[in-house]
Chain A
Amino acid sequence: MTKPRVFLVDDHSMFRSGVRSELAGAVDIVGEAADVGPAISQIAESLPEVVLLDVHLPGGGGQDVVAATKAEHPDIKFLALSASDAPEDVIAVIRAGARGYVTKTISGTELIDAIRRVAAGDAVFSPRLAGFVLDAFAAGHSADLDRPSFDPELDQLTGREREVLRLIARGYTYREVAKELFISVKTVESHVSSVLRKLQLSTRHQLTRWAAERRLT
C-alpha cells in the first residue's frame, strides 16, 4: 500500500509534532499549518490526499478550511480531529465536507487506519460521532415529519444503518460490526458512507439547527 500524503492542521505545535512522530513511516506528511489562512494556501500548494484537521482553530473553525478548499480541490479529503465533545462543532465540520471524525485520544495505529480509510474514500465514524448521528436522526422529532419537504431518502436512517451505528457507538470496529451482522466489511463501509451523505445533505431540523449555531448552512 502506498503511503497516503497527509497535511496537518492544528494550532498546538506540541500536538502536531506528537502526531508527526506517531504517524512516521506509515504516512507521508507533506506540510502543516496552525491557522485557517495559512492552512488554506498551503493545502492548495502541497495538494495532499488527506488533511488532518483540528475542529477548533484560532482564525475560525475547521469548517472554514474545508469549505474554502473543497471549492477548488474536491479530491482532497478531510478527517476531523478534536478534543471537543460539543455535537454542533463536530456536525458543522462534517456538514462542511469532512469524511470523518475521531477524538484526539485515539491511538496511533487507529489513527493510521482512519487515515487510510479516508484516503480510500470511506467514512470514519468514531463511537462518539455515531452517537451524535443517532441522536440527530432520532425518530421523535415531529417537526421534521410534518415538513412538506421531508425526504425519507435523506432525512431518515434505514434500520440497517441504525444497527451499524449502534454497534459502532458500542465500541465495535467495522470488522466486528460485519461479523456481528453477518455482512461483509465492504457492506459496513457502504452503510457508513450512506449515513455520512445523509448527514451532509439532510435538511433535518436538528442538523440545520446545529449547523446554524456554527453559522453554516
Chain B
Amino acid sequence: MPADPREQPASGEDQAPGEGQPAGACQSHWSTRLERHGIRLARGPASPGPLRRARDGQLLGGVAAGVAKRTGLSVGLIRVVIVVAALITTGYLAMPYVLAWLFIPAEGADSNIASKALTDKRGIGLAVGLTSVLVVALVIASALNASFLPAVPLIVCAAGLVLISRNAPEEELAYLRSLGEPAGLTSTAPRSRRVLRLAAGALVIIFGLYALLQGHERLALLRPLAGVMLLVGGIALALGPWWLRIAREAVAERQARIRAEERADMASRVHDSVLQTLALIQRRAGDQQQVIQLARAQERELRAWLFDGRPPGSMKGQASTVADGVRLIQQEVESQHGLAVDAVTVGDCELDDDMSALLAAAREATVNAAKWSGADSVSLFAEVEPDAVAMFVRDRGRGFDPAAVPADRKGLAESVRARLARRGGSATIRSAPGEGTEVSLVMPRSADDRMPRRP
C-alpha cells in the first residue's frame, strides 16, 4: 500500500464553502493566513458541468484537482482537508478518494475506470486475491493483539488501486509510473534507488516486529505464535494454489502482451517490405524484367533483415561502414537497373570521408557497367586491408577500347579518377572490346583509423 496522503473527493464540498456562498470574515481570515503559507483558498470561478478528474495539475488521481476546478476552491486546501480527514479517521476517509478515482471519469474521457474494470476478469481475480491475502494478514495481526490496523480501508483501497492500475487509460498509467520512478519502484530505476527502497522496507519490518514483540511477555508470546503459524499454514494450504494461479496468470498475461507487440511490429515490417513488393509484382506481372528486379531487391532486403538483423527500410543513407556501403550500392543498382550485382566484401572499416569518396566512385562504376556493358551481372569486390581499401567492379559485357573513347565520354572516368586522386587514391580501367571491363579503385586509409596490427 502506498503511504501517499489520500485525498478525498466530493465531500470537499461540504467541508469548505463554495464560490457562490457569501464570503464571511472567518473565510477571509483563513484565506490570508493560508496564503501566507503559499496556499491560496480561492483559485478562480467554478467551471460548469459534471465533476471530472483533472488531467493537469494532478498529484495522484486528479480527484482533488478536479474538485478544485469544479468548485473554484484552491487545490492545496482540498488536498490538506482530504489528508487530514483521512488521518483522523484512521484511513476510513481515504476510501472515498479511491472510489472517486474509480468512478469519476477523467477529463475528456466518456467512461470511468470502474466500467472498464468490470470486464477485466483477471484484474478482479487479482483484487480478490490481494483482499484474501490482506484478510489473512489481518487475522494474524489480530491474533497477535495488534488490532490497531485500519483493516477495512486498507482492503478497499488496495483492491481499488489494483483495479485502477490495470484499467486506467495509458497516459494516466504513464504518469503514475513517472511518480514511482524517484522511489525506485520501477524495474528501470537505478540500482542505488532500489537498494534504498530495500533498506527502507527492512527498517519498517524491524520496527513492526519490535512493536509486536514489545506488547507481550516472551514466553506468553510462544503459544499464540504457534497457533498463528498453524493458522497461516492452514490458510496457505487452502488458498495457496489459488494465489499462485492468479500470480501465474498475471505473468502469462504480461508475456502474451509482449508477444503480441512483437508480432505487431513484425507484421508492420513484413507489410512495409514483402507485402508491398508482392502487390507490385501482381500489378506488373506482364513485365518480366520488372518482376525479376523487384524479387531480387526484396530478397536482399529480407536477407539483410533475417541474417544481419537490419530491419527493412532502415538502410537508406545510413551506411556506417564500407561493407554497409557496398550492400547499399548492390541494392540500389539491382533495383534500378535490373541486373545482378555479385557483391563480396572482405574485412570492414568505418566510413570516413575518404571511404565515402571511394564508395561513390565504385557506385558510379557499377552504374556505368549496368548502363553500358550489356552484361546481366556485375561483380563488386571490396577488400579492406590494414593500409588501404581496394574495390573492383567487373563485368563481362561488350567492353571498349579505352584509347578510342570519345572525349565527351571520358568525363566519367576522369571524374572518378580525379575524385579519388584528390584524396590520395587512384583508379585504373582495364577493358577491351568483347572482353568486358574492370575498374580498380584504391584508397589509402588515414593513419589514425588503422587498426593496430602485428608485424
Q: Which residues of A contact B (CB under 8 A)?
A: 84-86, 105, 127-128, 130-131, 134-135, 138-140, 142, 145, 166, 169-172
Contacts of A131 in B (CB 8 A): 344-346, 381
* A23, chain B: closest CB distance, angstroms: 21
Contacts of A169 in B (CB 8 A): 344, 346, 381, 383
Contacts of B454 in A (CB 8 A): 140, 142, 145
Q: A86-B307, A139-B386 are in contact. Are A171 and B345 (CB under 8 A)?
A: no
How many angstroms from the CA of A138 to the CA of B386 in the assembled complex? 10
B25 adjacent to chain A (CB < 8 Å): no
Q: Which residues of B contact A (CB under 8 A)?
A: 303, 307, 340, 342, 344-347, 379, 381, 383, 386, 392, 394, 396, 438, 451, 453-454
- 7 pairs of residues in contact across A and B, judged by CB atoms under 8 Å: A105-B340, A127-B379, A130-B344, A134-B383, A140-B386, A169-B344, A170-B392
How many angstroms from the CA of A140 to the CA of B344 in the assembled complex? 19
Contacts of B307 in A (CB 8 A): 84-86
Contacts of A171 in B (CB 8 A): 342, 379, 381, 392, 394, 396
Q: A128-B342, A131-B345, A170-B394 are in contact. List 6 more A-B contacts (CB 8 A).
A: A130-B344, A138-B346, A139-B386, A145-B454, A169-B344, A169-B383
Number of residue pairs spanning A and B whose beta carbons lie under 8 angstroms apart: 48
* B393, chain A: closest CB distance, angstroms: 9
Chain B residue at minimum C-beta to C-beta distance from A146: B454
Contacts of A139 in B (CB 8 A): 386, 453
Most chain A CB inside 10 Å of its own CB: which residue of B340, B344, B381, B438: B344
Contacts of B394 in A (CB 8 A): 170-172
How many angstroms from the CA of A134 to the CA of B383 in the assembled complex? 9
Residue in B383, B438, B453 whose beta carbon sits within 8 Å of that of A166 in the complex: B383
How many angstroms from the CA of A134 to the CA of B303 in the assembled complex? 22
How many angstroms from the CA of A28 to the CA of B379 in the assembled complex? 31
Residue in B303, B346, B381, B453 whose beta carbon sits within 8 Å of that of A85 in the complex: B303
Contacts of A138 in B (CB 8 A): 346-347
How many angstroms from the CA of A166 to the CA of B390 in the assembled complex? 11
How many angstroms from the CA of A166 to the CA of B451 in the assembled complex? 21
Contacts of B453 in A (CB 8 A): 139-140
Contacts of B344 in A (CB 8 A): 127-128, 130-131, 169
Contacts of A135 in B (CB 8 A): 346-347
How many angstroms from the CA of A130 to the CA of B346 in the assembled complex? 9
Chain B residue at minimum C-beta to C-beta distance from A87: B307
